[in-house]
Amino acid sequence: MSSDDVVIVGGGNLGLWTAYHLAQRGVRRILVCERYWAGYGATVRSAGIMRQQGGSETAVKLGKWSRELYRKLGQELGLDSGFREVGYYVVASSPMEKAVFQRLVELRTAHGVPNEWLDPEDLARRLPYVDWSRFAGATYTPNDGYVEPAIIVRNIVMAVRAAGVELLEQCEVQGIEPLTSGYRVETSRGVFETERVIDAGGPRGARRIAEFVGIDVPVAASRHMVISFPERPPDMPANFPMMFVLAAGFYLRPDEQGVLLGFSNPLEQPDPSDRYLLEFDWDYFEKLKPEWEATIPSLAGKAIGRAWTGSIDYTPDQLPIIDEPRFGFYVLAAGGHGIMWGPALGMKMAELVTEERLSDLDPEEVRLRRFTEGRMATDAIHLPFPH
Ligand SMILES: Cc1cc2nc3c(=O)[nH]c(=O)nc-3n(C[C@H](O)[C@H](O)[C@H](O)COP(=O)(O)OP(=O)(O)OC[C@H]3O[C@@H](n4cnc5c(N)ncnc54)[C@H](O)[C@@H]3O)c2cc1C
């Protein structure tokens, strides 16, 4: 048996960034237990979209801080940060969405995120390969972009190891028992005593880990799908800006010389299988295809190079959980946005652990009790998750 100050369950983007920030704050004995290998869960399967164009104050701040943290870590390591700044258009399909989006431009700008509203005529000049007659306009942030999941995992693993964090892979947490002071954590690689436990188990772990100490964490997993066209159409420039058609629930970004396209079915139900690798829903693909082919006609008929699915984490309001529901037991979950918010969520969790407070965020918006007390906030910009 060995003892630690903090045991983090889950070596995904959230657990690893939490370990990094705790180490930066001087916490000395930090253990990350990962049942497979670092990044194995939702993190490496993600599309990497990094958006500061949130639909609430919390979302905007988390996106802005995370973008800065990815870039800073790349500089610290002297390596590629993995961040690709290509700009992002979030597209409104109706006058009602237009009104919401225009209000969000003010919110984002007030929080230091460059953001503008563009009408279809302006957009047609900028992105002539898109049929803008279908849309009411879009918001645009030039310094949004995407990250390469493989690079961000490499970087954060290197950083936590350099900071003295112990990362145990192939280490499954199988039980957590509260002690008079602290916790006893049973794993497939031994038993650890610790003052604090952080549940960062993601879509396939967060709920079960919290059950060990009798807490209900409403994090579920559902299918999210991504396809990649190896070649982009000739009318789309290299490093074309990303695009999210919110109402249809699909987004696009560059992928090597081609185009990556991600989408979710709004009627998708939580998946009970405990697998990350799920069947690809070709029926829904066929149903949605006319939407993206009408949006970018030159994509029609393009061959697909890769198609994959993954279990995406979601919370009932698509917002994160940063909380200490039991003394010394913490919960961190991303609400399906753990790439665009992960570094900042780790930063805030480390603040909560070391200072027992959350600054510069409304703590009530990220607490667990909002789900039982019916005080959920809303983020207007998110994928069509199941309800
Ligand atoms: C296909 C797809 C595309 C996505 N695209 C985007 C995107 O473009 N932008 C974005 O922001 N987000 C995206 N997401 C969501 C994003 O990937 C997740 O929100 C994020 O990775 C969550 O990070 P995490 O660390 O909470 O979870 P995970 O990455 O799943 O990490 C949790 C880890 O905990 C481990 N674990 C679980 N139980 C235990 C246990 N008992 N003992 C030890 N270890 C355990 C797991 O093995 C796992 O490695 C996407 C997700 C999918 C599936």
CATH code for the domain in which residue 34 is found: 3.50.50.60
Mean pLDDT of 141-170: 98
Residue 337 belongs to a domain: yes
Most informative mutation of 18, 37, 43 for ligand 1 (most atoms within 8 A of CB): 43
Residue 157 belongs to a domain: yes
Mean pLDDT of 162-167: 98
Q: Which ligand 1 atom lies nearest to the CA of residue 226?
A: 1
What pLDDT score does 384 carry? 76
140 Cβ contact list (under 8 Å, min separation 6): 87, 88, 89, 90, 115, 116, 118, 241
Q: What is the DSSP letter of 204?
A: G
Ligand 1 centroid to residue 372 C-alpha, Å? 24
Residue 162 belongs to a domain: yes
Lowest model confidence (mean pLDDT) among 93-97, 277-281, 381-385: 381-385
Residue 224 belongs to a domain: no
> Which of the four pLDDT bands, split at 50, 70 and 90, describes residue 303?
very high
What pLDDT score does 386 carry? 65
> Which of the four pLDDT bands, split at 50, 70 and 90, describes residue 375?
confident
Residue 352 belongs to a domain: yes
For residue 342, the enclosing domain spans: 2-45+150-219+317-373
- Write the pLDDT tens digit of every residue in 136-147: 999 999 999 999
> Which of the four pLDDT bands, split at 50, 70 and 90, describes residue 206?
very high
- Ligand 1 pocket, residues with Cβ under 6 angstroms: 9-15, 33-36, 40-43, 45-49, 172-173, 200-205, 209, 224, 226, 262, 310-313, 334, 336-340
Residue 277 belongs to a domain: no
As given in the structure block, the two tokens for residue 160 are 């936590």
Residue 322 has pLDDT above 80, yes or no: yes
Q: How many CB atoms are closer than 10 A to CB 130?
A: 25
Q: How many domains is the chain built from?
A: 1
Residue 295 belongs to a domain: no
278 Cβ contact list (under 8 Å, min separation 6): 223, 271, 309, 310, 311
CA dihedral 283, 135, 256, 346 (to 10 degrees): -90
As given in the structure block, the two tokens for residue 134 are 């279908």
Cα 224 to Cα 108, 208, 313, 351: the distances in Å are: 27, 21, 10, 31
Mean pLDDT of 309-332: 96
Most informative mutation of 13, 64, 160, 187 for ligand 1 (most atoms within 8 A of CB): 13
Q: Which helix (H) or strand (E) holds 262?
A: strand 258-263
Mean pLDDT of 273-290: 96
- Write the pLDDT tens digit of every residue in 103-151: 999 999 999 999 999 999 999 999 999 999 999 999 999 999 999 999 9
Residue 170 belongs to a domain: yes
Lowest model confidence (mean pLDDT) among 211-215, 344-348, 378-382: 378-382
Mean pLDDT of 146-158: 98
Q: Is the pTM of this model over 0.95?
A: yes
Using a pLDDT cut of 90, give the percent of the chain over it: 95
> Which of the four pLDDT bands, split at 50, 70 and 90, describes residue 182?
very high
Q: Which ligand 1 atom lies nearest to the CA of residue 204?
A: 37
Number of helices and strands (H, E) in the chain?
11, 19
